[in-house]
Amino acid sequence: MHLNSRWSITRIGVLAFLSVHVLVVIFPFVWMAYSTLKTNKEFMRSVWSLPATPSLDAFVQAWNTGALGTYSLNSLIVMLGSTVLAVVVATAGGYALAVYRPRWLAGIEIGLMIAMAIPAYVALVPLVVMLRAMNLLDTHLGVVLPTAAFNVPVTLFIMRAFFVTLPRDIIEAARIDGCSEFAIFWRIAVPIARPAMFTAAIVNMIWVWNDFLFPLVFINSPAKKTLPVGLADFVGEHITNYPVMLAAIFLAAIAPLVLFVFFERQITTALTGGAVKE
Amino acid sequence: MRLRAVALGIAASVSMSFSALAGELTFWHAYSGQQDKVDFINYALEEFGKAHPDIKLNVVAAEQSSYKTKLNTAMASGNPPDVFYTLPGGFLGAFVAGNQMYSLDDALAKDGWGESFLSSALAQTTMGGHTYAVPIDIDSSVFWYNKKLFAEKGWTAPATYDQLLELCEKIKADGLVPFALGNKDSWPATFWFQYLEMRLKGSGIVSGFVAGNADATLGSEGTEAFKRIADLSAKGYFPVGFNGMSDQEANMLFLNGQAAMMLNGTWQIGASADASDDFELGFFPFPTVAEGKGDQSDILGGVAAAFGIAEKTTNKEDAVTLLRFLTSPAVMTKYVELRKTMVTVKGATTEAAAGPVLYGISNDLMGKAANLDPFYDTAMPPKGTDTYYTSLQGVLDGSVAPADAAKRLEEALKAK
Amino acid sequence: MASGAAAASSAVRRDSRYALLFLLPTLVLVVGFVAYPVVYSSVLSFYEWNGTATPVFVGLDNFLRLAGDGFFWAALARNLAVAASAIVLQVLLALVIAYCLVRIVGRIGRLFLFLYLVPVIVSEICIGLLWRFIYNPYFGLLNAALKAVGLQSLATGWLGQSSTAFAAVVAVMSFTYLGLYVLLFVAAVRNVPDSIYEAAALDGAGHFRSLFSMTIPMVWDSVRANVMLCIIGSLKTFSLVFVLTNGGPNHASEVVSTYLYKIGFNAFEMGYAATIGFAQMFLTAIGAWIVFRGLRSSKAGRGD
């Protein structure tokens, strides 16, 4: 970039606009951060003021009340488990939908489209019956399987959207070279599809990380709770200790944010398939 | 023959390993999310462990609203916990209708356990002559006021509804909000409707519908009660945007002196703990309504929570032991002390444990009330509650006419 | 000719066989954990069931009730409004922001990206609680800000008025989910070769033209995927509505999921809840189908 473009009017204008916008997006979290240093009494009296005498008591209480470390670990297990499962399954499925074209595929496509739109609440009761029969209630696998299953249709359509852009000549050429269909998928399609798979994985991870309903209903043991369910325990029916609740949220958010800071380069690189330039 | 015996033995041991073992119980409760609840259940379970080391509890806790989702799903999927927390009235009624609840009649008849409860409380967990859960605590709704603010401004607690309206004008003129109300979750405004209906027509209206009385009706008083609420709202006696504020946000207005009064449950005592040091909580009963046909001393109060046993439970003996322990006078007095909430066990709401405010309500208001009328929204079948809630929100914001709201509610109450 | 037909039919057989093989894991998972429970539940839509007692067969009563249920149709219309607003306020805005971050802002774009992602990682229940304080009519920041700039006449109880509650919720949604699309678009925009922009710059194209006539066509696959994500997300949206307004006042901000939840889990009408879910499922699927067809670019067509 040459000098006059570094401080061009456009750039300053855009920076100003984005700064204001991001401030609005981020302000609640700044407020959350400094509110954790107050007592509940102080918070109740003036919600927005800075803490008069900052104290870490809320963090201590948050840490002692909920097993936040355990919850985070559980969330991580469920998140990775269902993300990997959903992405692997959906990559194969998306490939089939994009590359092959028997007539019955249209039926599957419609079926998956309906499946994509199913509200989880409708399936809740039969899922509990099923998971109990499979002895999977109150296990992480019992959360992973239905979560992945519910995310597969959308993930699959993301993957299909990628695979339809795959030039068919490549596939035909490989077939003529005598490659098996699996080899074409595994050696040609999957390596090219890595950025799309990574995109699908990011989307899945974010969904699962915030998912509340399935872990709430399928998990009973306190030691197996995931983070969103554990955090819900900080909100009382009539009385909430706000600084403690906010401290718990804050602690819960630190790990993923730090990870993102460290791996931002790798994440965006993976999303673009390594073609980063600036 | 011998082979068959072995097979039976294996089958028996297999089925044993699947159902709860003797001496083991699953126990679900909603004492979570706020410190006083957690303190109580920790105390109770620890003491239970000491008293009954042979009974192993698998405890599952969730906060009230999450808890309901969890319990309803467990019930609907035919997998209820052995012992669990439930709401009285229509909520419990749905489980009873599905034959999911174990009748506690025999257990209550033994050793005077049944007699240890207030009969008005037991009535709220009794259906068709059978008691299906033991009531734990009683919430009552009264007017709360900011004593210091009232003293500064020279206001006095009103005794009649007209005095209340006069006071509101004064408070409004001073630039304050007369009543704190955060009605996002719809139940806070129900106290207004119910008290007005109780004062105008009398207690036991919704209970009459639930019991299937042919002559049960809200009467023209239903419309009148909704009309008065619409009127209070139109005059600006409630905070701006109250239908979108939570109960806790409204409470902040009250504790910070921006609102002068609040019609709310006895949990207000606990919710006032974090007010500034010079805040002093006062209370007065809902004022009398001059032309009202109800007994003007009646109090809105009912069972907040109860514990029941699932019919499917194999280990009913230990389940009863757990309930008897939880409702023993010592544990219940501790409940009052930790939660500042009245309990259903006679004599357990002691002055020492309750503190002056709660004891005042329990002794002066409830002790002298001609009737206690349980909360409409929990007493009525769950199907009607949503109609009740949304009609009331609509009346308050002017989008539903009082007469229509009364008609809708009456229909919902009559529907089986 | 005959051998050509034989080759074609063997290709068809090959396609059928491999398509099935590659789809097998998907089918196992989706049929087992989505389709089966939903079919099981949809049977309930012909019954009246309180969740515990024996279900009572009521034929098409639930569907007739649904047809005349104004609350449901209004909720569904709100879901569509959420989707429409999300396409503009989340996907399109995210694309513009991503373009700015990559092409104009430069290095500190990474900081912005991080900040936009914060709300995505914090759970929605918490975000709802934070925003409740911003909207609070008495000590909320929004009204205070309006007052500070002399617009106090606009100050109101945002979440409590029927007229503003829904818009207030939609605004929170647009701030909350934006970051995910910014992240996905940043990756896509970075992937556009510099030479394209250089050519555009030589032509004297400004950023505006460069964005709309160069970048968007280049990242069209991302646009399509993100639009789909955002539509599906919008039609299923639940948590923020639940925490911010609980669908009130008097159903003024109700969406289908919150309505379904109230009917099924508060009112214990599991049969009717299943009917609502059934209807939502089909209507969403039809909507998604139409949008997909519309967004299918010529490049992405099946080419046959």
DSSP state letters, C166-191: HHHHHHHHHHHHHHHHHHHHHHHHHT
Asked if A195's CB is within 8 angstroms of C225's CB, the reply is no
Cα C39-C45-C49 angle, rounded to 5 deg = 115
- The span from the CA of C223 to the CA of C279, in Å, is 28
- Is pLDDT of B3 > 50? no
The percent of residues in chain B predicted with pLDDT above 70, rounded, is 94
Please tell me the least confidently modeled range out of A51-65, B132-146, B312-326.
A51-65
Nearest chain B alpha carbon to A217 = B70
pLDDT at C75: 95
pLDDT tens per residue across span A106-147: 888 888 888 887 888 888 889 998 999 999 999 999 999 999
Which of B127, B177, B186, B240 to mutate: most C Cβ within 10 Å? B240
Q: Which residues of B touch C44 (CB under 8 A)?
A: none
Measured between CB atoms, which of B33, B76, B247 is closest to A235? B33
- Are B210 and B280 found together in one domain? yes
Measured between CB atoms, which of C157, C266, C267 is closest to B244? C157
Q: Are A149 and C32 in contact (CB under 8 A)?
A: yes
Q: Which residues of B touch C50 (CB under 8 A)?
A: 94, 97-98, 382
- The span from the CA of A237 to the CA of B323, in Å, is 23
State the average pLDDT over residues B172-186.
95
Measure B204 CA to nearest chain A CA, in Å: 27
- Are B186 and B330 found together in one domain? no
Q: Which residues of B touch A124 (CB under 8 A)?
A: 73
State the average pLDDT over residues A21-26.
89
Asked if B243's CB is within 8 angstroms of C248's CB, the reply is yes
H/E segment holding residue B63: none
State the pLDDT confidence band at A240, using cuts at 50, 70 and 90: confident
pLDDT tens per residue across span B231-267: 999 999 999 999 999 999 999 999 999 999 999 999 9
The percent of residues in chain C predicted with pLDDT above 70, rounded, is 94
Nearest chain A alpha carbon to C51 = A125
Q: Indicate whether B308 belongs to any domain.
A: yes
Measured between CB atoms, which of A128, A232, A238 is closest to B66? A232
Q: Name the range with the highest mean pLDDT among A206-210, A264-268, B166-170.
A: B166-170
Q: Which residues of C touch A10 (CB under 8 A)?
A: 104, 207
- Are B161 and B193 found together in one domain? yes
- Is pLDDT of C126 > 50? yes
Q: Indicate whether B360 belongs to any domain.
A: no
pLDDT at A5: 55
**Which residues does B contribute to its contact with A (CB < 8 Å)?**
30, 32-38, 58, 60-66, 69-70, 73-74, 76-79, 247-248, 252, 255-256, 265, 267, 270-271, 273-276
pLDDT at C10: 78
Maximum CA pair distance of chain A?
Answer: 76
Asked if A117's CB is within 8 angstroms of C285's CB, the reply is yes
State the pLDDT confidence band at B11, using cuts at 50, 70 and 90: very low
- Are C28 and C66 found together in one domain? no
**Which residues in B295-384 belong to E strands, given as ranges?**
299-309, 342-343, 372-373
Q: Indicate whether B111 belongs to any domain.
A: yes
Q: Indicate whether C288 belongs to any domain.
A: yes
Measured between CB atoms, which of B69, B241, B396 is closest to C158? B241
Give the range of the structural domain holding residue B55, as residue numbers without chain letter: 20-136+303-350
- Are B315 and B389 found together in one domain? no
Measured between CB atoms, which of B34, B61, B73 is closest to A237? B34
Asked if A257's CB is within 8 angstroms of C121's CB, the reply is yes
Cis peptide upstream of residue B81 (ω within 30 degrees of 0): no
Q: Indicate whether B216 belongs to any domain.
A: yes
**B391 shares contact with chain C (CB less than 8 Å):** yes
Please tell me the least confidently modeled range out of A3-12, A178-187, C29-38, C207-216.
A3-12
pLDDT at C67: 93
Q: Name the range with the highest mean pLDDT among A90-94, A128-132, B11-15, C205-209.
A: A90-94
- Are B59 and B193 found together in one domain? no
Which is higher by pLDDT, A161 or B303?
B303
Which of B156, B146, B196 has the alpha carbon at shortest distance from B176? B146
State the pLDDT confidence band at C5, using cuts at 50, 70 and 90: low
Asked if B60's CB is within 8 angstroms of A220's CB, the reply is yes
Asked if B63's CB is within 8 angstroms of A237's CB, the reply is yes
- B83 phi/psi in degrees, rounded to 5: -125, 135
- Is pLDDT of C222 > 70? yes
Measured between CB atoms, which of C27, C133, C260 is closest to A119? C260
pLDDT at A83: 96
Q: Are B322 and B23 in contact (CB under 8 A)?
A: no
- Are C21 and C137 found together in one domain? no
Q: Are C219 and C94 in contact (CB under 8 A)?
A: no
Q: Which residues of A touch B58 (CB under 8 A)?
A: 220
Q: Indicate whether B84 belongs to any domain.
A: yes
- Is pLDDT of A34 > 50? yes
- Are C29 and C86 found together in one domain? no
pLDDT at A46: 86
pLDDT at C4: 62
Nearest chain A alpha carbon to B246 = A238
- Are C16 and C162 found together in one domain? no
- Are C81 and C16 found together in one domain? no
State the average pLDDT over residues A148-174.
89
Nearest chain C alpha carbon to A32 = C130
Amino acid at residue number B362: S
**A96 shares contact with chain C (CB less than 8 Å):** yes
pLDDT at B16: 40
- Are C84 and C166 found together in one domain? yes
Burial (Cβ within 10 Å: 0-12, 13-18, ≥19) of residue B44: buried
State the average pLDDT over residues B383-410.
94
Domains, chain A, ranges and CATH? 3-61 (no CATH), 68-233 (1.10.3720.10)
The percent of residues in chain A predicted with pLDDT above 90, rounded, is 39
Nearest chain A alpha carbon to C99 = A14
Asked if A222's CB is within 8 angstroms of B77's CB, the reply is no
Asked if A220's CB is within 8 angstroms of B77's CB, the reply is no
pLDDT at A4: 45
- Are B257 and B395 found together in one domain? yes
What percent helix, strand, coil does chain B show, rounded to 5?
50, 15, 30
pLDDT tens per residue across span B64-108: 889 999 999 999 888 899 999 999 999 999 999 999 999 999 999
- Is pLDDT of C298 > 60? no
State the pLDDT confidence band at C221, using cuts at 50, 70 and 90: confident
Could you give the number of structural domains in chain C? 2
**B382 shares contact with chain C (CB less than 8 Å):** yes
- Are B152 and B210 found together in one domain? yes
Could you give the number of structural domains in chain B? 2
State the pLDDT confidence band at C262, using cuts at 50, 70 and 90: very high
Q: Indicate whether C287 belongs to any domain.
A: yes
- Are C78 and C198 found together in one domain? yes
pLDDT at A277: 36
Which CATH number does the domain housing residue B324 bear? 3.40.190.10
Nearest chain A alpha carbon to C109 = A15
Asked if B65's CB is within 8 angstroms of A237's CB, the reply is yes
Q: Indicate whether C44 belongs to any domain.
A: no
Task: State ipTM.
Answer: 0.87
- C46 phi/psi in degrees, rounded to 5: -100, 5
Measured between CB atoms, which of C125, C178, C179 is closest to A232? C125
Measure A271 CA to nearest chain C CA, in Å: 6
Q: Indicate whether B10 belongs to any domain.
A: no
Asked if A220's CB is within 8 angstroms of B58's CB, the reply is yes
Q: Are A187 and A31 in contact (CB under 8 A)?
A: no
Which of B253, C117, C101 has the alpha carbon at shortest distance from A29? C117
- Are C217 and C289 found together in one domain? yes
Measured between CB atoms, which of B75, B244, B390 is closest to C165? B244
Q: Are B222 and B140 in contact (CB under 8 A)?
A: no
pLDDT at A266: 79
pLDDT at B220: 95
Q: Indicate whether B149 belongs to any domain.
A: yes
**Which residues does A contribute to its contact with B (CB < 8 Å)?**
40-41, 44-45, 47, 65, 124-126, 128-129, 132, 137, 213, 216-217, 220-222, 229, 232-241
Q: Which residues of C touch B33 (CB under 8 A)?
A: none
pLDDT tens per residue across span C132-176: 999 999 988 899 889 889 888 888 889 999 999 999 999 999 999
pLDDT at A278: 34
State the pLDDT confidence band at A183, using cuts at 50, 70 and 90: very high
Nearest chain C alpha carbon to B258 = C138
Which is higher by pLDDT, B304 or A106?
B304
Q: Which two tokens stand for residue B342?
A: 């009245």
- Is pLDDT of B9 > 80? no
- Are C73 and C193 found together in one domain? yes
Q: Indicate whether C54 belongs to any domain.
A: no
pLDDT tens per residue across span B333-356: 999 999 999 999 999 999 999 999
Measured between CB atoms, which of A11, A152, A264 is closest to C29? A152
Burial (Cβ within 10 Å: 0-12, 13-18, ≥19) of residue B78: middle
- Are B120 and B177 found together in one domain? no
- Is pLDDT of B283 > 90? yes
Measured between CB atoms, which of C15, C121, C180 is closest to A101? C15
Chains contacting C (3 or more CB pairs within 8 Å): A, B
Measured between CB atoms, which of B252, B267, B275 is closest to A238? B267
Give the range of the structural domain holding residue C102, as residue numbers without chain letter: 61-295
Which CATH number does the domain housing residue C286 bear? 1.10.3720.10
State the pLDDT confidence band at C9, using cuts at 50, 70 and 90: confident
Asked if C130's CB is within 8 angstroms of A32's CB, the reply is yes
Q: Indicate whether C25 belongs to any domain.
A: yes
Chains contacting A (3 or more CB pairs within 8 Å): B, C
- Residues sharing a CB contact under 8 Å with residue B103, sequence separation 6 or more, in sequence order: B130, B131, B132
State the average pLDDT over residues A215-229.
92
pLDDT at B312: 93
Give long-range contacts, CB 8 A cutoff, 24+ apart: C194-203.
C194/A277, C197/C103
**A154 shares contact with chain C (CB less than 8 Å):** yes
- Are B395 and B342 found together in one domain? no
Measure A191 CA to nearest chain C CA, in Å: 17
- Is pLDDT of B19 > 70? no
- Are C26 and C130 found together in one domain? no
pLDDT at B7: 44
Asked if B186's CB is within 8 angstroms of C248's CB, the reply is yes
- Is pLDDT of B210 > 80? yes
- The span from the CA of A271 to the CA of B10, in Å, is 56
Q: Indicate whether C18 belongs to any domain.
A: yes
- The span from the CA of B46 to the CA of C86, in Å, is 51
pLDDT at B178: 97
State the average pLDDT over residues B3-17.
43
Amino acid at residue number A226: T
- Are B253 and B319 found together in one domain? no
- Are B123 and B269 found together in one domain? no
pLDDT tens per residue across span C39-95: 888 888 899 888 888 888 998 999 999 999 999 999 999 999 999 999 999 999 999
- Are B25 and B103 found together in one domain? yes
